[in-house]
Amino acid sequence: MAKPPNGIGRSMPRSNEGMRLIFSAVVGVMLGYLFGISFPTVNITKLHFPSSIISYIEDRNSGITTQTLLNHAWASANNRKKNNSDSNSDEIPKIYVPTNPKGAERLPPGIVVSETDLYPRRLWGDPSEDLTSEPRYLVTFTVGIAQKANIDAAVKKFSDKFTIMLFHYDGRTTEWDEFEWSKRAIHVSVMKQTKWWYAKRFLHPDVVARYDYIFIWDEDLGVEHFNAEKYIELVRKHGLEISQPGLQPDRGLTWQMTKRRGDREVHKVTEERPGWCTDPHLPPCAAFVEIMATVFSRNAWRCVWHMIQNDLVHGWGLDFALRKCVEPAHEKIGVVDAQWIVHQAVPSLGNQGKSDNGKAPWEGVRARCRKEWGIFQTRLADAEKAYYLERGITPPNSTAV
């Protein structure tokens, strides 16, 4: 009897096996589908872990297993879904609050914290008991170790109502620990940076919103005749949003506006050299203070911070533009004569520059300052011009510095 062709006899069992696999797969898919639609849908963002589970994360030896954690979470989610279905057949709308800060629109307003502070907190205990005091004022100094003694004297003029913040441009921070106040101060260290670089990056208005006034000071200021709290009293009394102490007239003086007057508490206008003031209500005869020892109210700083340019680190030209942030500027910007300081004119930061072509380091720094002033003037003028042109308004001849 003839044999069947080679291989045909083996193909039939293989065909049957393939059909069984296909049948099993179809049945599995159907069962999976039926199981899936009968299982409650759970949004993972709605899984609320009880405190016992949170403790497990901290203590792996607590005896609570991962399965227990998941069982708690699924049970909690299922119960909420059932309760929601019983009370409301319609789907609950997703949260979207357009008035929330940008990026936080999907959060309920009650959990949004748009501002913070610089108050150090403990690593233990009840958070509500962390703060024994909440300073209402902030004073910052941009410092190098060479001015340690001078800064020590300056800081002692500020009570515990002030938060002390040091920006270290030389990277040396531990040497300040000899002062007891330094252990409570906030230290930020980045090599060879200016106070306006620090201010732009670390003093965002939402970070310093708890402070009524922000002092942004240089390191070379003599404060023998200065009392910080009396200064605040005079600033409030005279309605100053942007201010500085009067300067000892015999040294470190550039502008007549900043010169201390011995016969008054505060002055807001002055006379300058012929031709320097095109308008008696404009800088440098009014609405003007320098940037060496400036004091800002919370509201004024919110505006000024936005005007500081990321790349123009020396801040030259900013003093002429501060008037853009308060109105009327010639009434809200002024010099406090009754609390005065001495500008010692120590070029510490200037010496952090780089020697080039035989020039001293400070010469390169000074050249950069002048260049930045010109750039800032141009940017501000162009920005104002663009604003008016976009609205079909003929720009004024000059509204910038």
Confidence of residue 278 (pLDDT cuts 50, 70, 90): confident
On the question of pLDDT at 252 being above 80, the answer is: no
On the question of pLDDT at 4 being above 70, the answer is: no
Percent of the chain with pLDDT over 90: 65
Alpha carbons 2 and 5: distance in angstroms, whole number: 9
- pLDDT score at 81: 56
On the question of pLDDT at 210 being above 80, the answer is: yes
Residue type, 291: I
Burial of 167 (0-12, 13-18, 19+ CB in 10 A): buried
- pLDDT score at 88: 54
- pLDDT score at 174: 94
Prior bond of 284 cis (ω within 30°): yes
Mean of pLDDT values over 231-242: 98
Instruction: Give the model confidence (pLDDT) of 330-353 as tens digits.
Output: 999 999 999 999 998 887 776 677
Alpha carbons 396 and 394: distance in angstroms, whole number: 7
On the question of pLDDT at 183 being above 60, the answer is: yes
Confidence of residue 38 (pLDDT cuts 50, 70, 90): low
Bridge partners, residue 356, by sequence: 359
Q: Are β-strands 333-343 and 266-267 bridged in parallel, bridged antiparallel, or unpaired?
A: antiparallel
- pLDDT score at 192: 93
- pLDDT score at 87: 54
Mean of pLDDT values over 388-393: 95
- 181-190, 302-311, 361-370: lowest mean pLDDT where? 361-370
Whether the CB-CB separation of 301 and 256 falls below 8 Å is answered with no
- pLDDT score at 208: 98
Q: Which residue has the higher pLDDT, 116 or 72?
A: 116
Burial of 127 (0-12, 13-18, 19+ CB in 10 A): exposed
Q: Which residue has the higher pLDDT, 286 or 22?
A: 286
Alpha carbons 82 and 92: distance in angstroms, whole number: 13
Bridge partners, residue 167, by sequence: 142, 188
- pLDDT score at 275: 84
- 16-25, 219-228, 303-312: lowest mean pLDDT where? 16-25
- pLDDT score at 254: 83
On the question of pLDDT at 253 being above 80, the answer is: no
Phi then psi for 208, rounded to 5 degrees?
A: -105, 20
- pLDDT score at 53: 47
Q: Are β-strands 242-247 and 137-143 bridged in parallel, bridged antiparallel, or unpaired?
A: unpaired
Mean of pLDDT values over 82-94: 67
Mean of pLDDT values over 361-376: 91
Instruction: Give the model confidence (pLDDT) of 288-334 as tens digits.
Output: 999 999 999 999 999 999 999 999 999 999 999 999 999 999 999 99
- 29-38, 225-234, 332-341: lowest mean pLDDT where? 29-38
On the question of pLDDT at 195 being above 50, the answer is: yes
Mean of pLDDT values over 128-140: 96
- pLDDT score at 6: 47
- pLDDT score at 307: 98
Q: Which residue has the higher pLDDT, 115 or 278?
A: 115
Q: What angle do CA 163, 314, 177 make, to 5 degrees?
A: 35
Q: Which residue has the higher pLDDT, 363 or 166?
A: 166
